A = this chain, B = another copy of it.
Amino acid sequence: MPGAQTSRIREGSFVLSASIVFPPTREDRAVTDLESFHVYDTSLRDGAQQEGLSLSVHDKLAIAGHLDELGVGFVEGGWPGAVPKDTEFFRRARTELNLKTATLAAFGATRKAGARAADDPQVRALLDAETPVVTLVAKSHVGHVERALRTTLDENLAMIADTVAYLTEHGRRVFVDCEHFFDGYRTDPAYALRVVRAATEAGADVAVLCDTNGGMLPDDVRAVVAAVAAETGARLGMHAHNDTGCAVANTVAAVDAGATHVQGTVNGTGERTGNADIVTIVANLELKRALRVLPDGALQEATRIAHAVSELTNIVPYSRQPYVGASAFAHKAGLHASAIKVDPDLYQHTDPELVGNDMRLLVSDMAGRASIELKSRELGYDVSGDRELVTRVTQRVKDLEAAGYTFEAADASFELLLRTEAEGQRLSYFDVESWRVITESRPGGDALSEATVKLRAGGERVVVTGEGNGPVNALDHALRTAIGALYPEIDKLELIDFRVRILDAAHGTDAVTRVLVEMTDGKTSWETVGVGANIIEASWEALVDAVTYGLLRQGAAAIS
């Protein structure tokens, strides 16, 4: 089976020869299954090493559920015995986790030097985790054995063989992570090979070659994996880190060279520059290498799951993330918009729907009619029939962008603009008469801001004052007080981001200021833009747009 797969990889792609092979057709797709090719996720163990990341047992159980939906074959839950939280995770997993496709794996180390595996509490804890699979980390670099582990090269091999044998005798399936393998192979290839043999001869199913320090490039990996496969005949896996920016490429190179087990983490979390992003790996293998490594249909869940895991790990999603990032299929309009409309595949390396993502069009500097039409359709307005409207909107966008506005990151302001042009008047829940903000330093404390807003809403004139630790915060509080009774929906809206740019820096603080604010109703979020010579004025404009759009989304009826 691995053999068949290897030859399939050769046919299915450009690898291993300088001759050009065309991409495989649907019919040539290799039919693999979760056993013949392992997708092994270590988000809960190695991924949790990321600086600033701390997962509760509850987080880990929730993430494990998402990984199962993604269809990975194995979920490494942590290091029982060494990390109390992980011991607890495996205990609760027995009753609280119902994995459909994934198998749970416990991670641990080989026995201590000079002791029996059976007497090593850390090894016992691996059995107590009661997982079908145990993944053992083993030293394969002579320098690490001698200087970090501080034992002999032979004792290290005995530690590996004993521990693997002990765990298999107790019915566990064992994978061995050969730590620092590539650096070790460079230092002493013969010893690195002895480690792989010690593991597999003792009963380990897979020897996972780890680029622990992440310093390898794809050619290095391919050459070493090919050599180890030829020398040992062992089933090989790949565990890559991204220190050269090549973690995904190194993993694909290992597969090209015969590895049939890949390790990674969702969103590439991990120590230093992180681990290989498992979502990018599987998308590349399925869409670029024609390997079926996930259950049918699972890949379409990738974007949703990657974002859900971001939420659980409380890490802001990376907009440039391959395949699943918010910008991954976003195109600046203008120049190519008309062509994109005719033939999107000319500008996409794959169909975003295959990974559950969407193509987005950004209204930018060179905005043209085509991009305005596409953007409007994306927002749910078909304006293609109304040439005059498109002309008016296009002109308006051009004028505003010339004045410093940008709509790329402010869809909500664009939608309000579109509605204004379409309906002939601006949607308005209140009419602002004037506002004032006073900010004062306070001896020994933070400065305080006080905002007064005068407006008309629901036929009434309202004058309110709000305080805040900043001027925009104070204006936000005043506005809420002013219209809260009339539009209780505003309680659902919250400002979550605020960005400021000076546009013509040539005149420093005399320059035009652009403010982008992001608001959420707890379900989705939207961005608006404001521009003005005065930063407070620009902020107020963006704030009013954000609240107006929010009330519109909440279905509030304008009361005049």
Contacts and interface: CB of A to CB of B under 8 A. Distances in A.
B288 A215 contact: yes
A27 interface: no
A249 B250 CA distance: 8
Contacts of A189: 20
Contact of A329 (B247, B272, B469): B272
Interface stretch (A30-38, A418-426, A501-509): A501-509
A273 B508 contact: no
Given A349-B213, A500-B500, A508-B497, A17 B223 contact: yes
B272 A320 contact: yes
Interface string A483-506: 000000000001111111111111
Contacts of A280: 244-245
B319 A51 contact: yes
A148 interface: yes
B537 A446 contact: yes
A277 interface: yes
Interface stretch (A153-161, A335-343, A385-393): A335-343
Nearest to A15: B219
Nearest to A242: B322
B20 A533 contact: no
A274 B472 CA distance: 33
Contacts of A253: 218-219
A217 B284 contact: yes
B273 A51 contact: no
Given A363-B52, A503-B56, A509-B476, A471 B535 contact: yes
Interface string A337-365: 00100110011111000000000001101
A382 interface: no
Given A14-B223, A19-B223, A52-B408, A501 B314 contact: yes
A501 B517 CA distance: 12
Given A147-B346, A365-B83, A51 B332 contact: yes
Interface stretch (A165-173, A201-209, A290-298, A435-443): A435-443
A121 to B, nearest CB: 16
A223 B343 CA distance: 28
A450 to B, nearest CB: 10
A548 interface: no
A272 B441 contact: no
A19 B224 CA distance: 8
A247 B321 CA distance: 12
5 contacts: A20-B223, A246-B252, A271-B330, A314-B501, A436-B440
Given A314-B501, A446-B534, A447-B533, 5 more contacts: A50-B327, A57-B506, A244-B322, A473-B508, A535-B535
The 3 A-B pairs at the shortest CB distance, nearest first, are namely A215-B349, A249-B249, A495-B508
